[in-house]
Amino acid sequence: MSIPESHHPLVRLSPDEAALLERVKTLVAERIGPDADRVAQQDVFAWDTFRLLCREGIVATAFPRAHGGSEASMMLRVRIIEEVASVCSTAASLITGTDLSSRPIVAGGSEALRSALIPELASGARQSAFALTEPGAGSDVARLGAHYAPAAQGGWTLNGHKKFITRANVADMFVVVARQADGPGGGRGLSAFVVPRDTPGITVSPVIPKLGWYGVPIALVSFDDVHIAPQHLLGKEGEGMALAQDTLLRARIGHAAIALGRAAGALQIAAQYANQRQVFGQPVGAHQGIQWMVAEMAAQIEAARCLVYSTAQRYDAGDADVAIHASIAKLHATDLCMRIVVDCLQLLGGNGYLKAFPLERFLRDAKMNQIGEGTSEIHKTLIGRHVLQRAATLPQHPCLDMEPQLWT
């Protein structure tokens, strides 16, 4: 059924992984869920929730064992995120966002840099923010305007502006993707760096007001003649696009898992409400129209669950085509979540529109999943292009005749 079950045939976890997931379920029921409404009251960083996730070892799942993490499989992370997102987008975003903001360090940092930074990132003692998006370049990473040039004292000098940067107001360091001044165009000229927050020339704006996802604020970040030390280069010069794509791949699977969890949570709320709310002398759920509505949502969520889980399997197996499947999973799960939450809110009637009930919060949060890490329209473009290119390589379908006999 669409309301999460104890076991799913696509999920295979080790005993230790299963034990961690059970602890997460207990946290969701006893701590994260009951606290979700309070966390969503103000758009200030949810320190209490973040510290809880750190203490329980959930944040550490994104980091390698060699540097203090637990190096969880993508399948385990998807299941954790799904469970948490069924009650609280903020907590789920803190899990996915830690991975997003730190992944380039894990994937591209030198051994010395990883040893210096990752243990504290894994424990939550320090935080990073991923500074990719700009006022004039969001999904089109190749058009980034932030640029760097060699500095006389060694290293580089960075200039530019970044927009919609999550955790900017609490980050101890920024992972910045920028273009080589006078370098090659497109993605070939991009490089990634770690820039400590206390480096002179960095300015962080006040928090930008937004519709939902309270507890994980965003801000503008400006870099004015900021010096970057040679050891803070991630990977090699020109590898910024590859590091960004690797990071966004994991983030897109995370968005799909959040959307899946929220949709399942919304259906559980709506179904339990329908069982208890009396209309015309019987529960709302006794009406056939409501039953059909719930059935359609349950079937759609289970299909999305299989899609998200199979994408996690592909990631863990190192499937070469995982990126396009991540786009498919994100597109399907996030668009579906928006429809499910709207329908569940409708099922609650006037109560669904009230702040006293959780679905208005679910609705505001759901929109972000359709936008972040590539809008639904961007992913439709990627998927459509992939399908057409793939079709061009296949033998002609045996039933397709481009010049059929029109008269017999």
Residues assigned a catalytic role: 373
Residue 92 CB coordination number (10 Å): 30
Dist CA 269 CA 356 (whole Å): 13
- Cα 34 to its chain centre, rounded Å, is 23
18 by Cβ neighbours in 10 Å (0-12 / 13-18 / 19+) ranks as middle
Name the strand (E) or helix (H) holding 223. Answer: strand 218-228
Dist CA 337 CA 86 (whole Å): 11
Q: What are phi and psi of 112, to 5 degrees?
A: -65, -40
3-state helix, strand, coil in the chain (%, to 5): 55, 15, 30
Contacts by residues 239-242 (CB-CB < 8 Å, ≥ 24 positions apart): 239/108, 239/191, 239/192, 240/177, 240/178, 240/187, 240/190, 240/191, 240/192, 241/141, 241/142, 241/177, 241/187, 241/188, 241/190
Q: Which two tokens stand for residue 66?
A: 């060699």
- Cα 91 to its chain centre, rounded Å, is 12
Dist CA 356 CA 64 (whole Å): 41
378 by Cβ neighbours in 10 Å (0-12 / 13-18 / 19+) ranks as middle
